[in-house]
Amino acid sequence: MQVEAVVAKLRPQEKFLYIEFVGNVQDITQIPSVTLGDERRNPDGTFPADFQKKLEGYINGGFKLEQAGQPWPGELTQVRYDNSLDVTRSRFTLSMRYPRTSGQTQVLKITNTLFDYLPNAETMIVAGGTTQRLKTGNQATINPADMATNLMRNVQQFLISGMEHIFTGPDHMLFIFAFLLATTSFKSIIKTLTGFTIAHSVTLVLTTLGVLSFPARLVDVIVALSIVFVGVENIIGLRKESEFKKRFWVATGFGFIHGFAFAGNLKDMGLPEGSALIWSLLSFNLGVETAQVLICCLAFPLLLLWRKDTEKRRGSSMNWKSIQLMLSGLIAGAGLVWMFQRLFGG
């Protein structure tokens, strides 16, 4: 289940409240009531004037701001897109300006119905040190003059998001399951996952802070390749009945790449500012680790029980090794399909 997330970043100034919306470019080109028609996006990354006017009306109607019971309409000041070879990764940036008076202290109420035609659509509202997740029809209240960091809410939101990224990401889950499938002890899987955790945590933090960067399309391809690699390695190792002595380094190496994927998801959510940024990073990473531990704690004992039951039935046509080889082949095949889809934009 993929979440269609749009980030709304609030930037209060003395005379205006600026809100910057960032999301998938398809989100604004597929709005039923606002279509590009035969018009084309401009080469410089902007949109036609008529489309921008329609878009402004849609944002004011789908992201309603009220203060003291009065509607607070905004003016579209900029909309552009960052193109990508993979259309699903092309992003739009849209800026709205809302006039305000100095010292304004009334509570701001936001009602969100943006992109309600998309399944699982939600808007992440980033205000100062706080991030709130609004699904279609939900409301939020914010004080634009005093947007203090709500640390506990921030920790909770990013912790849940980190867990969701694993549980809704079949590629990451399959990568972990491929290791579990050929592992015979908890000690071995803990060692392997420790390398994976350390590696992806490093790139997650450094990429989010802007120290490192890597093309998103290439990251997705290598993530799929990592699944193929581990699946094939399982098959070769199981056939030769050899030990997987290099699993720690395989998990660590690919962990750096998976960290770029985690960071891309985190940045799309929208990050708060100041010290809340560090807490958000830690919470998201903790959510990722929690999900991984839960998967291992549930899947690994079940695999051991399956193996034990299979070995008891020695007269069965399929032994445990055959099951491991078959599942490893399916894992490698799934990774290969994803790799070609991501290579050729499928």
Whether 163 and 50 map to the same domain: the answer is: no
Whether 259 and 121 map to the same domain: the answer is: no
**The last residue of a domain, from among 96, 117, 148:** 148
Q: Which residue has the higher pLDDT, 235 or 148?
A: 235
Which range in 15-29, 36-50, 287-301 is most confidently predicted, on average pLDDT?
287-301
What's the structural domain count of the chain?
A: 2
CA distance 140 to 278: 24
Half-sphere exposure of 235 (CA within 13 A, CB side): 14
Give 2's pLDDT tier (boundaries 50, 70, 90): very low
**The last residue of a domain, from among 148, 177, 194:** 148
Nearest to 60 by CA among 113, 103, 104: 113
**Residues 6+ positions from 292 with CB-CB distance below 8 Å:** 166, 176, 193, 197
**Res 38: pLDDT:** 46
Whether 51 and 192 map to the same domain: the answer is: no
Report yes or no on whether pTM surpasses 0.75.
no
Whether 47 and 117 map to the same domain: the answer is: yes
pLDDT per residue over 85-105, tens digit each?
A: 455 667 788 889 888 765 566
Whether 131 and 77 map to the same domain: the answer is: yes
Residue numbers of the domain that contains 301: 157-343
**The last residue of a domain, from among 122, 148, 174:** 148
Average pLDDT, the chain: 82
CA distance 166 to 25: 24
Q: Do the bridges between strand 139-142 and strand 108-112 make them parallel or antiparallel, or are there none, so unpaired?
A: antiparallel
Whether 129 and 189 map to the same domain: the answer is: no
CA distance 4 to 25: 11
Dihedral sign (CA 298, 301, 304, 308): negative
Instruction: Specify which residues 111 forms β-bridges with.
Output: 64, 139
Contact assessment for residue 209 and residue 271, using Cβ atoms and an 8 Å cutoff: no
Residue 178 pLDDT exceeds 80: yes
Q: Which residue has the higher pLDDT, 267 or 166?
A: 166
Instruction: Specify which residues 65 forms β-bridges with.
Output: 110
pLDDT per residue over 249-265, tens digit each?
A: 999 999 999 998 888 77
Whether 44 and 95 map to the same domain: the answer is: yes
